[in-house]
Structure 1
């Protein structure tokens, strides 16, 4: 993308990708579109994935190839690696670029040679974040050393910026849908208890709440049990 025409075409592709991202109907579809877009739009990118940490447990989301999962698991086993660092909350670096994993990496001495053995030649990663939250890391892989240039990094950064917004929006929508579904299920469960046990609305809710607390079960799971079994 050295000429004005190339950048104009890239800008059009990025705008189209952003529209498609926001049009996705689920979190999984959004993530799959993000990683697929990375391989389509970022020069040198052979594979991509999103790494999320949950209490130091690694989760690989929407990997385009097995290589991504293997790399994430390797970093989890070793407790080190660029993707691991990029996804870790509190780490200040929001972008990394490793030009060549065939050479010695002082920062990740255990990970680099084993990643190269997996077939990784070079890597880039971008923290996915909004003003309110950090969502994980978008990681790009190439089998070729030196595949990623400054232009690739700029393209990846632009993609990550759009991706973070789409990811956050998709999560928010999913949470809202889950909340609505949970309220509906709780209401249905209360209605069942009111009919079976001849309880008031307040008493029925109190039965659900007490069962939840005494058995350390989430309220929506208690409601689901009532809906499935007809009682507790």
Structure 2
């Protein structure tokens, strides 16, 4: 492998990831980069677990979704185990799924039927948080070797930083938007009902609590309708 070329590709990819304008665009670029840069990779996607429920993000192929759903339904599999138990390695490589029937007796044969020959997975993490797992698939057994694993690990390291940065940026934008709409709603209430700023906010807060509606949605209602129903 031409490591100079790989390094140049990784550097270009890292800049490209940070240039994406949304979390979803960042994740889609991560998955696409895996297929482009990791030799043997036919499909890729990011798995996130909510309890024991699986969410598949930015899949490049239906195979990724089918594999994740299979692991969710069976409650076993390499991606599921690593993410759910917290006991898996941060990197796993399954050279040949046919040799894994003893580990995942239910998953392995059904994954083979889906067209999975070999797999790799990389937990996406920073010092502060675990973000999910980047999972790579090949239709062929033995498609991934140590070089593929190293390339995948380099990609995942860049991807975790980009993913975390994109999510933080999105959270900040959401917070600013929420602050703006709440401020606008308070202004409407203050003007119409001659309330102080504190009183207007208390009206929004009490309505939110009594009706089990998020404060931002209450504020949006005031902005759209001019008051509370």
Separation in structure 2 between the aligned mates of residue 143 and residue 106 of structure 1, nearest angstrom: 20
After TM superposition, give the deviation of residue 88 of structure 1 in Å.
Answer: 2.4
Separation in structure 1 between the aligned mates of residue 134 and residue 100 of structure 2, nearest angstrom: 24
The match for 1:81 among 54, 77, 80 is 77
What TM-score does the superposition give when structure 1 sets the normalisation length?
0.96
SS of the residue corresponding to residue 9 of structure 2 reads helix
Please name the residue that 2:87 is paired with: 91
Separation in structure 2 between the aligned mates of residue 38 and residue 223 of structure 1, nearest angstrom: 42
Please name the residue that 2:152 is paired with: 156
After TM superposition, give the deviation of residue 92 of structure 1 in Å.
Answer: 4.4
Q: 1:21, 1:33 within 8 Å by CA — same for their partners in 2?
A: yes
Q: 2:117, 2:140 within 8 Å by CA — same for their partners in 1?
A: yes
Please name the residue that 1:111 is paired with: 107
Deviations 1:157-184 (A, max 9, x none): 0000000000000000000000000000
Please name the residue that 2:36 is paired with: 40
Structure 1 segments of 4 or more deviating over 3 A? Answer: none
Task: State whether structure 2 residue 30 is matched by structure 1 residue 13.
Answer: no
Separation in structure 2 between the aligned mates of residue 9 and residue 89 of structure 1, nearest angstrom: 37
How many residue pairs get matched?
Answer: 228
After TM superposition, give the deviation of residue 104 of structure 1 in Å.
Answer: 4.1
In structure 1, runs of 5+ residues without a counterpart are none
After TM superposition, give the deviation of residue 209 of structure 1 in Å.
Answer: 0.6
Bigger mean CA deviation after superposition, 63-72 or 87-96 = 87-96
The match for 1:175 among 167, 171, 174 is 171
After TM superposition, give the deviation of residue 31 of structure 1 in Å.
Answer: 0.3
After TM superposition, give the deviation of residue 230 of structure 1 in Å.
Answer: 1.2
Task: State whether structure 2 residue 162 is matched by structure 1 residue 166.
Answer: yes
What TM-score does the superposition give when structure 2 sets the normalisation length?
0.97
Task: State whether structure 2 residue 26 is matched by structure 1 residue 26.
Answer: no
The match for 2:194 among 193, 198, 218 is 198
The match for 1:72 among 58, 63, 68 is 68
The match for 1:186 among 172, 182, 187 is 182
SS of the residue corresponding to residue 91 of structure 1 reads coil
After TM superposition, give the deviation of residue 106 of structure 1 in Å.
Answer: 1.8
Q: 1:86, 1:136 within 8 Å by CA — same for their partners in 2?
A: no
Separation in structure 1 between the aligned mates of residue 153 and residue 82 of structure 2, nearest angstrom: 13
Q: 1:89, 1:134 within 8 Å by CA — same for their partners in 2?
A: no
Separation in structure 2 between the aligned mates of residue 92 and residue 120 of structure 1, nearest angstrom: 20
RMSD across aligned positions (CA): 1.1
